[in-house]
Structure 1
Amino acid sequence: MNWLFLIAFIGILGALAAAGIFMLKRPQAKHDASKHMARALAVRVGLSIALFLFILLAWKMGWIQPRPLGR
């Protein structure tokens, strides 16, 4: 189960990095860069929502259990 969370988190960070790269593109390709940046940010938001919903589903199904913090 942990590897699934790790892969989703890496995908979220990858989409965020891609959006940053598209944001820093040269001005002559600004229109294409802004379209790609918006798409990368939409993918990041979609992955984040999907990961959150999957965590809720896994908790509800009993696949993961919360642990007490601290002691």
Structure 2
Amino acid sequence: MKTVFLLAFIGILGALAAAGLFMLRNSGGKQRGPKMARALAVRVGVSVALFLFILLSYYMGWIQPTGVPLTR
């Protein structure tokens, strides 16, 4: 389970880095907006998918709360 979460976070950071590179790089006069927007859309999609996977994992019993107390 940790591997799935780690791969998803790496994918999120990779899409964010790609969007940043598209934003900063001058692509020879071409519009950089569509590539950057696509990379950000991928990042949002992977983030939503990770959130839904975490919810599904909790409901299926694949992951459990840690039981960390909220009081001091």
Partner of 1:58 in structure 2? 57
Q: Normalising by structure 2, what TM-score?
A: 0.88
What are structure 2's unaligned runs of at least 5 residues? Answer: none
- RMSD between superposed Cα atoms in Å: 1.6
CA offset digits 1:10-65 (Å, max 9, x no partner): 0000000000000001164351x211100000000000000000000000000000
Report 1:42-57 matches (<5 A).
Answer: 42-57=41-56
Structure with the higher fraction of residues in helix conformation: 1
Q: Normalising by structure 1, what TM-score?
A: 0.90
Partner of 2:2 in structure 1? 2
What are structure 1's unaligned runs of at least 5 residues? Answer: none
